[in-house]
């Protein structure tokens, strides 16, 4: 029981064992989440449901067996929606704004989404307040070349990073509907346009 | 009524090292609340201190000092057991006085 | 904005020994933090919390002096360092703030609904449980953390908390471990301790409750967990819920044996 108020207990585990947590941590944690989270703003309870990627990464603590990883990566890759016009480069100036913004998808957000890219990555030379959760993207195009294959790699990674590395910490911005096609094109340009400050 | 101050007065030789924590919103008059309205100016304007009733310090301060200010000063000629009293007055005319006893040792 | 008028800042021989750091930059930050901690506005909230603990209040017009924080009714000293823990009277593991809320309900007649409605501080208001938690935490300052694992339910809470810590979900596929499960990373310029490791897990617990200079607000671990889930793009955790207590059990037990420095002060 929680507090001295009536609580609606959801979940068979908790209802059956009103004494609370038992000896199966996985089941306990899932039952606790169902009962003790609640929807707020745009953050609904559906967000707790694991999709195939999350289930695989959770079951194996981000270290899935190679065969499973490859299967799921291929499925994620097949689900990437590439731009219909075949163009992957947008405007790097707009891309820089998207990279700087940390907004979007949280219950406190009222509208507008950014990529939060600087939270994790070094990108352009003018910003020293960058995070180090992900690798540096400085000189991204300069180091790899500006060819169509690298453009595709960059766009694809932003759309669905799990297609390339199943349990990477990088969000699947396109797959989750967090960024629009134009925003992802603009970010691709930030990394891949020879004129972008990233490649100077 | 405003919340009490926290005053520490520790003796180092014959000098009392006094530190005061004051509870006050110190509104600059520039901040807007959630509804977009400007929060009115509300700040401590003057502080004074006495040692055993005798004035030792007074100052006028501005709204540039941030919320819940810390105030530290030294008083020469203090002894253990003396009383330090601090008074502040703000721009709304609210005032508060608190006191503490000077303690020996470091 | 200057936080203090300092007419004469003496050398401070009583500066707490900075935590040993291999990194000289981290050592300088520790020294800076120690100076700030000497005159921490958290003490104002500690004083307020003590007043709220002792004063008869609420529909039952009772004080909190019979509240059992795990060491017996009314025993406050050392209690914070020994939580979260199992409480038989509610048959669940509770962290300090959840327990304070429980006592306010059971002893003083407040309702969970009114205490959970707006449980976090803002510029205009510090909720009572926050001040009380600051007072209770201050009575464990310097003591070694010893969140118990003797009861089966305490062990179950740790295990469930660990599962929660590693659970990836939501549109960004984040778990707590996404940020706090690796060494030597930072988000923007904020260092991210690895809470799976005892030497770094202490940083999850010390300094909370903490006074945030930005906005001049007092925040507790309940706030910190709420804000983390918000940034993880999860739904909202229940205030004082068993789930949050389980997560706090995992973090605190990982930090056990190390001294609790708090209440803290933050940028």
Q: Mapping DSSP to helix (H, G, I), strand (E, B) and coil, where does residue C38 land?
A: helix
Neighbours of chain C (3+ CB pairs under 8 A): A, B
Looking at chain A, which residue has its C-alpha nearest residue C231?
A106
Residue A59 lies in a domain: no
Residues of B in contact with C43 (CB under 8 A): 6, 21
Q: Which residue has the higher pLDDT, C7 or B79?
A: B79
A26 to chain C nearest CA, in Å? 6
CA C229 to chain centre: 16
Q: Quick one: pLDDT band at residue A13, thresholds 50, 70, 90? A: very low
Kindly state the tokens that stand for C126: 């510090």
Statement to judge: residues A102 and A176 lie in one domain: yes
Looking at chain A, which residue has its C-alpha nearest residue C102?
A3
Cα–Cα–Cα angle for A113, A116, A119, rounded to 5 degrees: 160
Instruction: Please provide the distance, in angstroms rounded to a whole number, between the alpha carbons at the two ends of chain C.
Output: 13
The predicted-structure confidence for C36-62, as pLDDT tens digits, reads as follows: 777 889 999 999 999 999 999 999 999
pLDDT for residue A1? 47
Q: Across residues A42-48, what is the average pLDDT?
A: 96
User: What is the pLDDT tens value at each position of chain C, 267 positions in all?
Assistant: 444 444 333 333 333 333 334 567 767 767 777 777 778 899 999 999 999 999 999 999 999 999 999 999 999 999 999 999 999 999 999 999 999 999 999 999 999 999 999 999 998 899 999 999 999 999 999 999 999 999 999 999 999 999 999 999 999 999 999 999 999 999 999 999 999 999 999 999 999 999 998 888 999 999 999 999 999 999 999 999 999 999 999 999 999 999 999 899 988
Please state the domain count of chain A: 2
Query: What's the Cα-to-Cα distance from A61 to each of A56, A166, A175, rounded to whole Å?
Result: 8, 12, 22
Statement to judge: residues A31 and A96 lie in one domain: no
CB spacing of A50 vs C187 below 8 angstroms: no
The helix (H) or strand (E) run that includes residue C226 is helix C221-231
Please state the domain count of chain B: 1
In a 13 Å sphere around the CA of C242, the CA atoms on its Cβ side amount to 30
H-helix segments, C39-139: 42-54, 96-108, 112-117, 128-138
Kindly state the tokens that stand for C115: 């205490």
pLDDT for residue A8? 42
How far is C252 from C260, CA to CA, in rounded Å? Answer: 10
How far is A100 from A117, CA to CA, in rounded Å? Answer: 6
Residues of C in contact with B12 (CB under 8 A): 10
Q: Quick one: pLDDT band at residue B1, thresholds 50, 70, 90? A: low
The predicted-structure confidence for A107-163, as pLDDT tens digits, reads as follows: 998 777 889 999 999 999 999 999 999 999 999 999 999 999 999 999 999 999 999
Statement to judge: residues A30 and A102 lie in one domain: no
Name the CA dihedral angle for C45, C50, C51, C52, rounded to a multiple of 10 degrees. 90
For each of the domains in chain C, give its residue range(s) and CATH number, in order of start. Answer: 40-266 (1.10.760.10)
Q: Which of A60-69, A181-190, C10-19, C218-227 has the lowest mean pLDDT?
A: C10-19
- The CATH number of residue B78's host domain is 2.60.40.10
C172 to chain A nearest CA, in Å? 4
Q: What is the ipTM of this complex?
A: 0.89
Q: Which of A2-6, A57-61, C210-214 has the lowest mean pLDDT?
A: A2-6
Looking at chain B, which residue has its C-alpha nearest residue C37?
B70
Strands C2-6 and B65-76 come out as parallel
Residue B58 pLDDT > 90: yes
Residue A87 lies in a domain: no
Residue B90 lies in a domain: yes
Cα–Cα–Cα angle for A127, A130, A136, rounded to 5 degrees: 100
How buried is residue C245: exposed, middle or buried, by Cβ count under 10 Å (0-12/13-18/19+)?
buried
The predicted-structure confidence for A74-100, as pLDDT tens digits, reads as follows: 999 999 999 999 999 999 999 999 999
pLDDT for residue B106? 55
| C243 neighbors C237 (Cβ within 8 angstroms) | yes
Residue B1 lies in a domain: no
Say which residue the tokens 């300088």 belong to.
Answer: C28
How far is A170 from A117, CA to CA, in rounded Å? Answer: 10
Residue B106 lies in a domain: no
Out of C8, C38, C44, name the one closest to residue B68 (CB): C44
Statement to judge: residues A28 and A102 lie in one domain: no
Say which residue the tokens 């009293």 belong to.
Answer: B85
Looking at chain A, which residue has its C-alpha nearest residue C233?
A106
pLDDT for residue A77? 98
pLDDT for residue A3? 61
Which domain does A25 fall in, by range?
Answer: 1-36
Residue A173 lies in a domain: yes
Statement to judge: residues A97 and A163 lie in one domain: yes
Residue B14 lies in a domain: yes
CB spacing of C47 vs B3 below 8 angstroms: yes
pLDDT for residue C14? 35
How far is B9 from B75, CA to CA, in rounded Å? Answer: 9
Which A residues in the span 171-190 are in contact with C, Cβ-Cβ below 8 Å?
Answer: 171-172, 176-178
Nearest to residue A185, comparing CAs of A91, A79, A86, A96?
Answer: A91
The helix (H) or strand (E) run that includes residue C264 is strand C264-266
pLDDT for residue B33? 81
Q: Say if C25 is an interface residue toward chain B (CB within 8 Å).
A: no
Residue B9's φ and ψ, nearest 5 degrees, are -135, 105
Say which residue the tokens 């006893």 belong to.
Answer: B101
Statement to judge: residues A99 and A175 lie in one domain: yes
Residues of A in contact with C159 (CB under 8 A): 25, 28
Residues of C in contact with B17 (CB under 8 A): 10
The predicted-structure confidence for C124-144, as pLDDT tens digits, reads as follows: 899 999 999 999 999 999 999
How far is C80 from C263, CA to CA, in rounded Å? Answer: 11
CB spacing of B70 vs C39 below 8 angstroms: yes
Looking at chain B, which residue has its C-alpha nearest residue C124?
B25
Which of A23, A36, A61, A63 best tests the C interface by mutation, with the highest count of C CBs <10 A? A36
Residue B12's φ and ψ, nearest 5 degrees, are -130, 100
Residues of C in contact with A120 (CB under 8 A): 187
How far is C207 from B98, CA to CA, in rounded Å? Answer: 28
pLDDT for residue C26? 67
Any idea how long chain B is?
106
Kindly state the tokens that stand for B51: 């040692």
pLDDT for residue C36? 73
Statement to judge: residues A98 and A184 lie in one domain: yes
Q: Which residues of C are catalytic?
A: 228
Out of B3, B19, B59, name the one closest to residue C39 (CB): B19
- The CATH number of residue A151's host domain is 1.10.760.10
Residues of A in contact with C111 (CB under 8 A): 5
Residue A19 pLDDT > 80: no
Statement to judge: residues A104 and A184 lie in one domain: yes
Residue A65 pLDDT > 90: yes
CB spacing of C156 vs A22 below 8 angstroms: yes
Statement to judge: residues A165 and A97 lie in one domain: yes
Q: Say if A6 is an interface residue toward chain C (CB within 8 Å).
A: no
Q: B touches A (3+ CB pairs < 8 Å)?
A: no
C88 to chain A nearest CA, in Å? 10
pLDDT for residue B64? 87
Residue A64 lies in a domain: no
CB spacing of C1 vs B74 below 8 angstroms: no
Q: Say if A110 is an interface residue toward chain C (CB within 8 Å).
A: no
Which domain does B47 fall in, by range?
Answer: 6-30+38-101
Residue A100 lies in a domain: yes
Residue A83 lies in a domain: no
């Amino acid at each position: 029981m929680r507090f001295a108020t009536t609580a609606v207990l959801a979940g068979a585990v908790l209802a059956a064992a009103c004494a609370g947590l038992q000896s199966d941590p996985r089941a306990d944690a899932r039952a606790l989440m169902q009962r003790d989270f609640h929807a707020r703003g745009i953050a609904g309870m559906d967000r707790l449901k694991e999709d195939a990627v999350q289930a695989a990464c959770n079951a194996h603590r981000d270290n899935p067996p190679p065969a499973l990883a490859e299967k799921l990566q291929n499925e994620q890759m097949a689900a990437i929606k590439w731009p219909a016009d075949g163009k992957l480069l947008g405007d790097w100036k707009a891309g820089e704004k998207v990279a700087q913004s940390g907004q979007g998808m949280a219950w406190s957000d009222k509208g507008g989404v950014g990529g939060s890219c600087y939270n994790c990555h070094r990108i352009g030379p003018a910003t020293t307040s960058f995070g180090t959760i992900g690798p540096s993207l400085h000189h991204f195009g300069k180091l790899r070349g500006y060819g169509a294959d690298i453009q595709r790699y960059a766009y694809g990674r932003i759309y669905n990073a799990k297609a390339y590395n199943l349990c990477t910490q990088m969000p699947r911005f396109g797959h989750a509907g967090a960024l629009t096609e134009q925003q992802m094109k603009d970010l691709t340009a930030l990394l891949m346009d020879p004129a972008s400050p990233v490649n100077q | 009524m405003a919340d009490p101050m926290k005053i520490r007065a520790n003796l180092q030789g014959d000098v009392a090292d006094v530190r005061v924590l004051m509870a006050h919103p110190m509104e600059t008059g520039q901040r807007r609340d959630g509804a977009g309205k400007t929060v009115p100016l509300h700040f401590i304007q003057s502080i004074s201190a006495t040692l055993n009733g005798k004035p030792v310090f007074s100052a006028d301060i501005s709204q540039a000092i941030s919320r819940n200010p810390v105030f530290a000063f030294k008083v020469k000629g203090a002894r253990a057991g003396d009383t330090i009293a601090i008074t502040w007055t703000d721009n709304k005319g609210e005032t508060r006085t608190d006191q503490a006893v000077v303690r020996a040792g470091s | 904005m200057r936080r203090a008028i300092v007419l004469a800042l003496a050398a401070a021989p009583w500066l707490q020994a900075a935590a040993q750091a291999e990194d000289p930059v981290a050592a300088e930050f520790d020294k800076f933090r120690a100076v700030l901690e000497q005159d921490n506005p958290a003490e104002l909230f500690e004083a307020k919390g003590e007043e709220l603990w002792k004063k008869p209040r609420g529909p039952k017009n009772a004080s909190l002096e019979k509240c059992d924080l795990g060491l017996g009714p009314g025993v406050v000293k050392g209690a914070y360092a020994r939580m979260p823990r199992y409480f038989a009277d509610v048959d669940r593991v509770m962290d300090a703030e959840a327990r304070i809320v429980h006592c306010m309900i059971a002893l003083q007649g407040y309702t969970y609904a009114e205490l959970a409605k707006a449980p976090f501080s803002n510029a205009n208001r510090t909720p009572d449980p926050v001040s009380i938690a600051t007072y209770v935490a201050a009575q464990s300052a310097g003591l070694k953390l010893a969140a118990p694992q003797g009861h089966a339910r305490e062990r179950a809470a740790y295990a469930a908390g660990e599962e929660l810590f590693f659970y990836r979900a939501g549109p960004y596929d984040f778990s707590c471990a996404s940020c706090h499960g690796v060494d030597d990373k930072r988000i923007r310029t904020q260092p991210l301790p690895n809470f799976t490791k005892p030497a770094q897990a202490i940083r999850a617990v010390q300094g909370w409750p903490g006074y945030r200079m930005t906005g001049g607000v007092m925040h507790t671990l309940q706030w910190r967990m709420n804000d983390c889930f918000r940034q993880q793009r999860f739904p909202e955790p229940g205030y004082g819920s068993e789930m949050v207590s389980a997560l706090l059990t995992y973090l605190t037990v990982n930090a056990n044996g190390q001294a609790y420095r708090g209440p803290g002060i933050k940028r």
